[in-house]
Amino acid sequence: MDNSEDGEEVSQNLVYATCVFARMIESYYVKYIHKTPFLNSSHTGNIWVMELLQGNDKRFFRMFRMDKHVFYRLCSELQNKYEFKGSKRMNVFEILGMFLHILGHGVVNRLAQERFQHSGETVNRYFSYVLDMVCNLAVEVIQPVDREFKNIAPEILRDSRYMPHFKDCIGAIDGVHVRASIRHADQIPYIGRKGMSTQNIMAACNFDMQFIFAYAGWEGTAHDTRIFLSAIRNPELNFPKPPNGKYYLVDAGYPQMKGRHAESDKHFDKHGNENATPNEETDIKAETQGDHSSRHDVSAQEMEVLRNNIAASLMNGV
């Protein structure tokens, strides 16, 4: 009697083990052997990019945020200067198109996978690949054509509203907050008055609407003055400092300049002098900190008078 019961129990255990093993084999087969295809759309990223290149100009601009001739020129520049190359699965047009699409629309990795039909690792690798080249290209492109600013900007010369009021002005400097994706533990310094994580980017542009300097990476809570002083004191950034008699236009977020508006270059001469001694640097810092409150009201009044005079001249010239 006992032997028969033991035999039945063994048989049941064997059947149960067989069922479990069969289920494991089935799961493995479905998951790794006969799995549902993923990223197998016939409308691949290469087909999509080539369709846009051969299609409507406005549609291309909407997707990549640049015109076709600029796209071709950028691709050629990267190929000639930085040996930009494709691979067996992705050509240079698709790689560059994916990079621009991600930047232009803030596309996350998973959406880029679906749009271009490539794995997340491939998307990340090629994005980083192009980003390194574009950053190197930016160092060559974002700078003034003439670093001595010898000539008056044509946009000033041919406009009676600005000439001669701004004949010594070489451009404008301002900051812009750009939304940034920051780890939760590091977000606090980046959350400023915008209420979101941002970078405070300082940029300078000329009257031809071309950027001649850009300084990114600062937290959203960083003050414009702090970023500005860091830019002009760091020789590695190669900030385009104005020569004697020239100046940039800035807003109230930047240091007030002593004297007339056209003499703002004195600030650059003091802070940007590579041959300044430690005592001179100490005097500059003391002047900036100690005299700021005493001359703020006077500078504000001078700026108000100057602004009113310029406004009157502009109105009379219209």
> Which burial class, exposed, middle or buried, applies to 276 when counting CB atoms under 10 A from its CB (0-12, 13-18, 19+)?
middle
The 3-state DSSP class for residue 276 equals coil
Ordered by start, the domain boundaries in the chain are: 1-36, 45-141, 154-317
Which residues are CB-neighbours of 188 under 8 A, at least 6 positions away? none
Instruction: List per-residue pLDDT tens for the chain, 318 residues long.
Output: 555 666 677 677 787 888 888 888 877 777 777 667 777 788 999 999 999 999 999 999 999 999 999 999 999 999 999 999 988 889 999 999 999 999 999 899 999 999 999 999 999 999 999 999 999 998 888 888 888 888 888 888 888 888 888 888 888 899 888 888 888 888 888 888 778 888 899 999 988 888 999 998 899 888 888 999 999 889 888 899 888 888 888 888 887 653 224 334 444 444 444 444 444 343 333 344 444 444 444 445 555 555 566 555 555 544
The alpha carbon dihedral of 286, 288, 291, 292 has a sign of: negative
Strand residues in 220-278 grouped as ranges (E): 247-249
User: Which helix H or strand E contains 82, and what residues bound it?
Assistant: helix 68-82
Phi, then psi, of 149 in degrees rounded to 5: 50, 55
